[in-house]
Structures are given as structure tokens and as C-alpha cells.
Structure 1
Amino acid sequence: MRYFIILMFVCSTVQAKAYKCEVNGKTIYQQIPCAGAGKEIELNDNFSQADYNAAQKRISDHQAQISAQQKIDDDAAEKLRKEAIDYYTLRTRQSVAISEQRQADELRRQSAAIAEQNRILLLRAK
């Protein structure tokens, strides 16, 4: 029963008609007859094997182009991702280096202050 319904659906789509209508100066195509002046158009469903093969080749070529472009896009996105990681890694290292430099400067200042205090204490002790 299921196959019968599917077969009827397929047959009904094969027998579909198309109409070319003019509406407000625009040409439209539809499956129902036009309200005003319009005409039924013949649908050509008699394609040769060569036509079918050519269409399949165009589809295959188009899919190959899409795949190639997707690969290019993916490669570019990966390159940008790596560059962003490198940039933020560099920025982090720069921040750490600046902090360490400030800390070293402060330790030098403190060391100089302690050395000065020790010098003064030694002078007083004499």
C-alpha cells in the first residue's frame, strides 16, 4: 500500500503542468492556470544521457570548487587562529617581562636603601 501511494505521488508530479502568467507587468510561473491571460508551457523532460552526464559533470565541478574554496577558507581561519594565539602569547610574555622588570627595579632600590642604611650604621658604630 505504501508503495502504491508513493507511486501515485510520483506519477502526479510527473504529470504536473506549468503556466506562464503576466501579473502587474511581471512574468511568473505557477502550477495553476492563470486568472487572466496566460498559457500553459511545455515542460521538457526528455533529456539525453549526454545532457544528464553534462549536468552531473557541472554539479561535480561546482562541488569541487566549493570544496576547494572551503579548504582555502578553513586554512585561512586556522592561520588567523594561530596568529591570534601567537599575538596573545606575546602580549602575555611582554606583560610578565614588564612586571618582572619593575620587580627587579624595586629590589635594586631596596637593596641600595639597605646598603645605605648599613653604611650609616657602620659609620655610627665607629
Structure 2
Amino acid sequence: MGLREVDFVDTADRAIGARVRARRRFLALSQSGLADHLGVSFQQVQKYERGANRISGSTLVAAARALQTTVSWLVGEEAGGDSPPDEAFSALMTPGAMELLEAYRAIPRPRARQALLALAREMGRDEAEDG
């Protein structure tokens, strides 16, 4: 059974939202700040970032400008050496993932980072075995 068009659109909306969120956070721009640039509420930005609401073409252009990137990058069509694959953006959509990544990056000692990684992997295995 193949992907229905609706499934593809939902996946595309979530991927675009994840890219908007990742770029906004990279620039240390708040949802309210982005909302001001777009002329929408911060709640609307939250919906865009979750993929719950589709971003119109004109809003996508405004978002690219506000986020100092291109529409092509936001929609995942611009290949670049520093562009993480869509799988990475999907993983960052998991609640708390971005915060965990930021905390991990702030750990100065390599051995402490490795210990945290080992703990997370073990916890993932426990959940998979219990579920």
C-alpha cells in the first residue's frame, strides 16, 4: 500500500515545520519574534512548527526572509553540506528532543557525553522490550 496524497502532505507540513523550528532556534529567535515578522500570533507559529497548519506560499517566503534562509531550504529541496537529512528533523520534532540536544551539547567532558548517550540508548532498549 503506497502513501496517500494526504499522508504526503501531512509529512511535508511536518518536515517544513521542523525546519522552521530548527532554524528559528538556531537563530535564537522566539516564536513571538517570528510571529511578529510573519504578522501572525505565536500560537499560529506553534501550529506551523508542529505541521498542524499548512504554511501558505507568501508566509513561507516571509518565514525564509525572517529566518535568513531560502524557501528551498525550508521545504527540503536545497541540498547543502550542512543540511541535516529529513530524518534528523523528524527526530527533532519529538517533544524535548531539541532541549536534550542543547543540554548534551553543553556538557564539556566527552566521557560525560558518552555516559549520557549510553544511558539514553539503554532506556530506549528498556522501553522497546517492555512495549
TM-score (norm 1): 0.23
Instruction: Name the structure with the higher strand share.
Output: 1
TM-score (norm 2): 0.22
Greater RCO structure (CA 8 Å; 6+ sep)? 2
- Structure with higher Rg: it is 1
